[in-house]
Amino acid sequence: MVHLENLSKIYRTKRGEIKALDDVSLHIEQGEFVVVRGHSGSGKTTLLLTIGGMLRPSMGNIVVDGKDIYSMGDRRRANFRAENIGFVFQMFHLIPYLNVVENVILSSHSGKKKTPEAKKLLERLNISGRETHKPSELSAGERQRTAIARALLNQPKLVLADEPTGNLDPENAAEAVGYLSEYHRNGGTVVVVTHGEAVDQFADRIVHLKEGKIQQMEDNG
């Protein structure tokens, strides 16, 4: 599903170059749940953004679902992303002036037609009754569940999550990760990057990242 070959990413800043990814090669099978673990600054977000088609690597190749995503034009890559990849972020990234349902259908090309499906998903994710609330009127757990509903609405082949439990208490963290795990049990491919250990129990494989390099991979089950 995801093939990374000799991936490097160098950020060029006024104070010099930062090598955020250093020759990373990784193959993720369809239906795998992979956790990428590393300390802050180890390159986790950079890795996730490059897999997601949002950040071009400095060197190397990325093939997602058989497509060399950075050989596509920007618009095609954006469409590919919308159709195939769901994203979940630590800070939820909900649009403050849209309500819960509107936030969930935002990621869909078919827009309002998806409202019934969005409502069903919200029910499944234990946020029914909050459809017309704005994000500011939700708890952190409800915000993240809304964001997960948004990520899952298009039934993506791949879900990428960046510290999805970073702003949640243990109970809400377990619930949020439980929905990612359910999506995985139904055949989805999941990559979670995190510095914590809360997600490990669901992982097929744990990849340890340090200073932009893969240090170790463990099968987990």
Answer with the entry of ligand ADP, Mg ion, none that 18 interacts with (C-beta below 5 to 8 A by kind).
Answer: ligand ADP
Closest CA to 175 of 156, 154, 202: 202
Query: Least Å distance between CB 17 and ligand ADP?
Result: 9
State in angstroms the smallest separation of the CB of 210 from ligand ADP. Answer: 10
From the list ligand ADP, Mg ion, none, which binds 31 (C-beta under 5 to 8 Å, kind-based)? none
By C-beta, is 26 or 36 nearer to Mg ion?
Answer: 36
| Number of residues binding to ligand ADP, judged by CB under 6 A | 12
Determine the size of the site formed for Mg ion (CB under 5 A).
2
User: Which one of 39-47, 71-79, 119-127, 148-156 is the stretch in contact with ligand ADP (CB under 6 A)?
Assistant: 39-47
Per the CB < 8 A criterion, the answer to whether 43 and 209 are in contact is yes
Residue of 20, 160, 176, 177 that binds ligand ADP (CB under 6 A): 20
- 151 is a site residue for ligand ADP (CB under 6 A): no
Q: 44, 81, 130, 150: which one contacts ligand ADP (CB under 6 A)?
A: 44
Residues of this chain that interact with ligand ADP (CB under 6 A) are 11, 13, 18, 20, 38, 40-46
